[in-house]
Structure 1
Amino acid sequence: MSYQVLARKWRPRSFQELVGQSHVLQALVNALDQNRLHHAYLFTGTRGVGKTTIARIFAKCLNCEQGVSSKPCGQCSSCKEIDDGRFVDLIEVDAASRTKVEDTRELLDNVQYAPTRGRYKVYLIDEVHMLSAHSFNALLKTLEEPPPHVKFLLATTDPQKLPITILSRCLQFSLKNMTPERIVGHLENILQQEQIPSETPALWQLARVADGSMRDALSLTDQAIAFGDGKVSEVDVGAMLGTIDQGQVLKMVTSLASANAAHILASVATLAEHSPDYLAVLDDMLSMLHRVAIAQAVPDAVDNSQGDQEQILELASVMTAEDVQLYFQIGLVGKKDLPLAPDPRSGFEMALLRMLAFRPDGAPVAPKALKIAVTTPSPTSSDDNTQSVSSDSLAEGETSDPEPEAVNLSSPEPVVESPAHDQQVVEKVAALVEVEEHSETQKPVKDNFEPPVIDDQPQEVAQQETVQQKTVQQEAAQQEAAQQKTPPSSPVDVQVPDNHAPPAMEDVPISAYEQADHYGQDESFNDAAPPEWSAETAALNSVEASYVQEQPVVSAPEIKPQASPVRAVVELPAKEHRVDFDALNEASWIQVYRGLPLGGVTGTIGSHCELAQKEQGVIALRLDAERSTLYNDTHRQRIEKALGEYFEQSITLTIDTGRIVGETPAAWRERKIAERQQEAKDSIYSDAKVQNLVEAFSATVLDDSIQPIGNVIK
């Protein structure tokens, strides 16, 4: 009899022999045992995870001569014929080769006929996503309401390409990829029964390359058996796959943890003898660093998918989280720079040395003798090709070449300059300290900056400016006295910028509404205080500039503080300028609102209200529905309080949302602004000089550049 490959020989013939996919088996087994069978099943998943195998076992469970159950006998003629692939009522269709609508129609013409041998006629359509759109349309009606003796089993690796109308008619089961641990366990069981010697590290390599596919793992095992002359060894599998031994990668990561550049270069030299793919080596190192980072964050989350769980946990205990993140980031950048290097090896070595060079200065270094078992293949060994060494075994075996000390490239020794230079620096620092002490004892610290209150009294403003000028003169005199105490060897000329308060706003007769500046703004926007300048800051800037530029006299640049916005204090208008409560109407509501000390969102909400009704002690406002997004009862209470203070009586305020009929304060303000803008334009266009310029040079007046003078709205 001819040889049968492992993937076919060891294909499961019952649900009990299946490896993994327990979430799918539970649903199918319960449905078979309880006789709750659907007419269409869809199995999705990557290649080699058991889609077709589960479908065949399910067909065997349906047509077993012993009855429908989750455990077919496997001995009857129906079970044997299904295993051999010659059961007449199991119609397997390769949708990739029969994509036309004519093929689908020919297939469905026989659906109405009863099964020949079995209990059910089972249609197994593999790679169903390859069918054409017309084929799916032809299949829809039959798939939705097939005869009671027909079952559809669909399998695909790309369910996204299936129409939603097909998905809605099937029970969908998504098969998971096989974990490396599960693949290794299954391979060990098969090789043990086949009486083929194997090494566990070799099986781990096969499991990693299989990438979750059990069929790929069995096919690679067949290849490894042939390559290794009847055995599966780590060296043979590594040579067959062309992969890098994980022991070498672990050794380099261990050397990084110990900050041992000599060991790193020695590992690269050993690795270069096999002409590796350095980009793949970097990928393996990044994968290992990723698992180390996971072990540091959540130790229980580290799996044994690479067969090195203990080594990863050991590395996580001796490496800092900062180092792991730094090495990972530098490795990612090194992958992009590797094609630009003169040769791949030099680019790979520079990436590793860069990890040590940019290591934070003062960070703890892991012990050099890490007790991490590293499996390293011996190129000249015979059958037994593995040996267990630690990261410091290389140094212990090298008697002629002693182990070099760890080198931290990121912390060079400081450069010692001339004594004269040191004396000059000391004198400058002493001068700075003396200036700071003198300033701290003489100048009070201003913890809270309060903006000046703007009113209509020019005399008080002038007095305030006079006081500020005196304060600045005193500070300048103190600074000059401090400079006289500076040693002659470091003449530092420190100029203290003026510490003027923000300039006073222009004294213009603006209304309370414009003073609050609440139209569409929040009160907190104007609370920022201007930056304060001190003698200490100026002295520090001056000494730093003198130290860097080595100039005998350095003056700090005069930086004028920018004037920050200052919110004016809003007061209620005088009683003779207020509107009486009895005279309140829709026309006078705008005047009343302009006299209310409201700001922020509350002021914006109130400006979009109109007077709806007024009774004795009760005012009803109507808010524009388009402006009611931010309205709540808090704003109503603030407006109610402001109205009570304005009319000097108890006011009950109600605000409803609706359609605005009259003119709101916000609309009035916009109209006034538009009128002032139009007046400014008329003034420009009617000016004789402007008219002469337009006529003489064919000039054009830019309307956007015309702005009214002043900001008073009357």
Structure 2
Amino acid sequence: MSYLVLARKWRPRTFETLVGQEHVVRALTHALSSGRLHHAWLFTGTRGVGKTTLSRILAKSLNCEQGVTAQPCGHCQACTEIDAGRYVDYIELDAASNRGVDEMTQLLEQAIYAPSAGRYKVYMIDEVHMLTGHAFNAMLKTLEEPPGHVKFILATTDPQRIPVTVLSRCLQFNLKQMTVPAMAEHLAHVLEDESIEAEPQALRLLAQAAAGSMRDALSLADQAISYAAGPLTAAVVGEMLGTLDQHQLVRLAQALAAHDAAGVLAVADDLLARGLSFRAALGDLATLLSRVAMTRQLGQAPADDPQADDLMALAGRLSPDVLQLFYTVAVHSRAELALAPDEYAGFVMACLRMLALVPAPEAATADMANAGQHPGSSEPSEPSESSESSESSESSESSESPISSGKPDGSTVASTKGADTAEMPPGRALPEPPLPGPSRARQTPRSAQIPPSEQATAEKEASKDAADTGHSLGPDSAGPDPVRIAPREHAAPVRDIAVEPPERAVAVQGITVEPIPGHAPAQHAPTEIDGPPWDLDDDPIPDADFAAAMPDDPVDLPIRSAELSAELAGGRRSRVRSKKPAPDPAAMTPQAWPELAARLPVTGAARALALNSEWVAADDTQIRLRVAIRTLSGGGGQERLRTVLSEHYARVLRLAIEYGETGEDTAHAVSEAEQARRQDDAERAAEGHPLVQALGKQFGARIIPGSVRPA
């Protein structure tokens, strides 16, 4: 006797032996037990999930000599001949080779005759989606009202190509793809009965390669038995399938986690030497990364997983964001592998891309060291040259920016911030104060750019020059020395502004401007100021009111501390417009929804959905709308409307669409009502016009409804 392949030898003969399709088995067994038999069934699903097997078991249940039963005997003439494929009343038709209207007409002409040996004449049409449109139309009438002795079983892998007129005449059952654990368990049972030893990991590899098809899994098992010529081990099966060994896969993931480029290239060279598929390797890597991510999220690996220890180790080394990045690169690189010069280069570049997008630990350590920080610490370890220069800049700035405190007697006391009193050499420009905000530490005053040795020399020369010219830098000095203005800390930036000394001392906001004895203020045209950061045209304190409110004694100058302080210190107006709070979706009413829907920035399907929807209810997380036409929620309009509503309410919202009759609380209904009202008003106004009334009296004229257009 010739060898019978495992896929045929182990084809299920009863509903109990069928694996992975419990939902279909339950429906069919209940129908057979209760006698509620339909005249047409449609089985859909990918290859090798049991469509033909189910049709044969169903045909045996209908024609078994014991009667219509969910448990055929398997020994009578009908059962044995159906299993052997030679039963006269069970006709299997391949629609791929008999797809025309002539073949279908011939089949239907034979259907009217009674069965020859069985109880029912069963027609099984495989790959029914291959029939032409005329063939489908030819079978519609018979499929809807067949003779009582005829049953139709249709099978297809592409139900989308079957006309809805055929679908509506059948009971449709969607057969699921087989899971990897279910296939591995069934393979273990089959190989145990065949007296062949197999490792669990080898069976798992076969089940994964089958991609949900039990027939493919049994065929691969046949191939592995021939290839191994002995026990099925994971190494032998992986070599036969051309897949990456799990230990090598873990080694690749560990090399990526350790940023070991040499280890990654070693794995790639090994794959090239063994002639394995780089596309499959990227797919296996993405699968491993997904298992690592689930292990990290759950905190533990599955107990029955043989790689549980490796998964836990990788989960401890790879952070969630790195896992997501590696997974994305692996998936996209697998799709782009056909564009690479060769698969080896594409695989290597994909792995190097993962390493390039994640900084190496030593690189991160070097960057932190350059920034003056220890790895793993956010505090600087030692002050670097840049920090020293910043400190010297601040000290120079504080030493060269004396703060003059005004007194009632007109004297001035010069002080510095954290330093001794310093004098400004004549002719040297005022140092620029640091800009407020985060960039203050990066600003380097001009005075900080002078070395300390040169500063000391310059100060000595300046003192000597001042003594020769008769000018003194002390508080009692006289002469055309420029006025000293010391800005407070955090004050607004002082720009190059020429300031004439006043006639008497003025103290405003911690800034003292004192007169110079014997110096008369110069009369000149107003100096243009280089644009302050606040708007002078919209000052909350008018100049006239401010001048009227100024007292005779400058020491007792009243200052609006709340407003003027904020303007001088922050460089901006004190009147800050408060941001309007985001609206609450729960406060929306059905009557107010049409107005909001009409002004939402949406177009196309989203606008049609918004205008024709009715507000039902809302809370902090979800908005419910009702529409009368189901097609309005298709075409991406629902998702676009959800996005716009989330932006409007400044929160992430879900959009639930209900279907039912809508009333007058839709934007479309409101618009139509408003248009009708304006049309009625326009027609009444036209009828009341004297000319129209005169024409009506003289000629019997009347206004045709709808002919008047409102303005």
Q: TM-score, normalised by structure 2?
A: 0.55
* Counterpart in the other structure of 1:10: 10
* Number of the residue aligned with 2:677: 659
What is the alpha-carbon distance in structure 1 between the residues aligned to residue 135 and residue 537 of structure 2?
73
1:121 aligns with 2:121: yes
Give me the whole-angstrom Cα distance separating, in 1, the residues matched to 2:302 and 2:264.
27
Q: Is the CA contact (8 Å cut-off) linking 2:400 and 2:422 kept in structure 1?
A: no
When residues 182 and 313 of structure 1 are mapped into structure 2, their CA distance, relative to the original with a 3 A threshold, is farther
Distance 1:232 1:20, change over 3 A: same
- Cα displacement string for residues 558-588 of structure 1 (whole angstroms, at most 9, x for unaligned residues): 6745799999xxxxxxxxxxxxxxxxxxxxx
Q: Is the 8 A contact 1:432 1:539 kept in 2?
A: no
* Distance in 1, Cα, partners of 2:68 & 2:133: 35
After superposition, what is the alpha-carbon deviation per residue over 1:330-364, rounded to whole angstroms, capped at 9, x for unaligned?
545666887379945652552353255267xxxxx
Change (3 A) 1:67 1:561: farther
Confirm whether residue 414 of structure 1 aligns to residue 370 of structure 2: yes
1:313–1:540: structure 2 CA closer, same or farther, 3 Å change rule? Answer: closer
Verify the 8 A CA contact 2:390 2:444 in the aligned structure 1. Answer: no
1:135–1:346 Cα change, 3 Å: closer
For residues 144 and 413 of structure 2, the distance between their equivalents in structure 1, rounded to whole angstroms, comes to 95
**What SS does the corresponding residue of 1:109 show, helix, strand or coil?**
helix
Q: 2:390 — aligned with what? A: 425
Superposed, 1:43-82 pairs within 5 Å as 43-82=43-82
CA RMSD of superposed structures (Å): 4.9
Taking the TM superposition and a 5 Å limit, the aligned residue runs for 1:558-573 are 560-561=533-534
Counterpart position of 1:581: none
Q: Which moved more, 1:196-205 or 1:551-560?
A: 551-560
Equivalent residue, structure 2, for 1:98: 98
Task: Give the Cα–Cα distance (whole angstroms) in 2 for the partners of residues 181 and 131 of structure 1.
Answer: 36
Separation in structure 1 between the aligned mates of residue 108 and residue 221 of structure 2, nearest angstrom: 41
Q: 2:442 aligns with which of 532, 544, 555?
A: 544
The structure with higher relative contact order (CA 8 Å, sep 6+) is 1
For 1:322, the equivalent position in structure 2 comes to: 321
SS of 1:357's partner is coil
Residue 158 of structure 1: how far off its partner (Å): 0.2
Supply the distance in 1 between the matched residues of 2:331 and 2:28 (Cα, whole angstroms).
Answer: 45
> What secondary structure sits across from 1:659 in the alignment?
helix
Tell me, yes or no, if the aligned pair for 1:432 and 1:540 is still in contact at 8 Å. no
Number of residue equivalences: 458
Q: For 1:328-343, list aligned pairs within 5 A.
A: 328-331=327-330, 339=340, 343=345
Contact 1:492 1:543 (C-alpha < 8 Å) held by counterparts: no
Residue of structure 1 in register with 2:356 after alignment = 354
Q: Structure 1 residues 227, 495: closer, same or farther in 2, change over 3 A?
A: same
Q: CA deviation at 1:546?
A: 3.6
- Please give the per-residue CA displacement for 1:32-90, whole angstroms capped at 9, x wherever unaligned: 11111100000000000000000000000000001111100011111111011010000
Q: Helix, strand or coil: the match of 1:216? A: helix
Residue 505 of structure 1 corresponds to: none
The structural deviation recorded for 1:296 is 3.3
Contact 1:179 1:212 in 2 (8 A): yes
Amino acid at match of 1:544: R
Matched residue of 1:155: which SS? strand
Q: Secondary structure at the match of 2:390?
A: helix
Separation in 2, partners of 1:276, 1:564: 76
1:420-468 CA-to-partner distances (Å, cap 9, x unmatched) read: 76542222245689999999x99xxxxxxxxxxxxxxxxxxxxxxxxxx
Stretches of structure 2 lacking an aligned partner (at least 5 in a row): 373-381, 407-411, 452-492, 496-529, 541-582, 584-590, 592-610, 616-672, 682-711
Q: CA deviation at 1:197?
A: 2.4
- Rounded Cα–Cα distance in structure 2 between residues aligned with 1:428 and 1:564: 36
Q: Relative to 1, partners in 2 of residues 1:204 and 1:484: Cα closer, same or farther, differing over 3 Å?
A: same
- Structure 2 counterpart of 1:134: 134
User: Paired residue for 1:458?
Assistant: none
- Residue 66 and residue 226 in structure 1: after superposition, are their counterparts in 2 closer, same or farther (change >3 A)? same
Partner SS for 1:46? coil
User: C-alpha displacement at 1:247, in angstroms?
Assistant: 1.9
Query: Do 2:268 and 2:348's aligned partners in 1 also have CA atoms closer than 8 Å?
Result: no
Structure 1 unaligned spans of 5+: 360-405, 443-476, 497-535, 568-599, 606-625, 631-655, 664-714
Q: Cα 1:269–1:99, aligned 2, differ >3 Å: closer, same or farther?
A: closer
1:102-181 superposed matches below 5 A: 102-181=102-181
5 Å-filtered alignment, 1:241-252, equals 241-252=241-252
**Which secondary structure state, in structure 2, belongs to the residue aligned with residue 114 of structure 1?**
coil
Q: Which residue of 1 aligns with 2:240?
A: 240
Amino acid at match of 1:221: A
1-side partners of 2:441 and 2:430: how far apart? 9
Residue identity matched to 2:356: R
Equivalences for 1:322-471 in 2 at 5 Å?
322-331=321-330, 339=340, 343-344=345-346, 346-354=348-356, 356-357=358-359, 411=367, 413-414=369-370, 423-430=388-395
Give the conservation status (yes or no) of the 8 Å contact 1:494–1:539.
no
Tell me how far apart the structure 2 counterparts of residues 93 and 99 of structure 1 sit (CA, whole Å): 10
Instruction: Output one character per residue of 1:469-502: Cα deviation in whole Å (capped at 9) or x when no partner.
Output: xxxxxxxx9999879999999x996668xxxxxx
Q: CA offsets, 1:652-702, max 9 Å, x none? A: xxxx98836999xxxxxxxxxxxxxxxxxxxxxxxxxxxxxxxxxxxxxxx
Q: Distance in 2 between matches of 1:130 and 1:147?
A: 25
1-side partners of 2:147 and 2:536: how far apart? 85
SS of 2:43's partner is strand
> 1:194 Cα deviation (Å)?
1.0
SS at structure 2 position matched to 1:151? strand
Alpha-carbon distance in structure 2 between the residues aligned to 1:351 and 1:72:
60
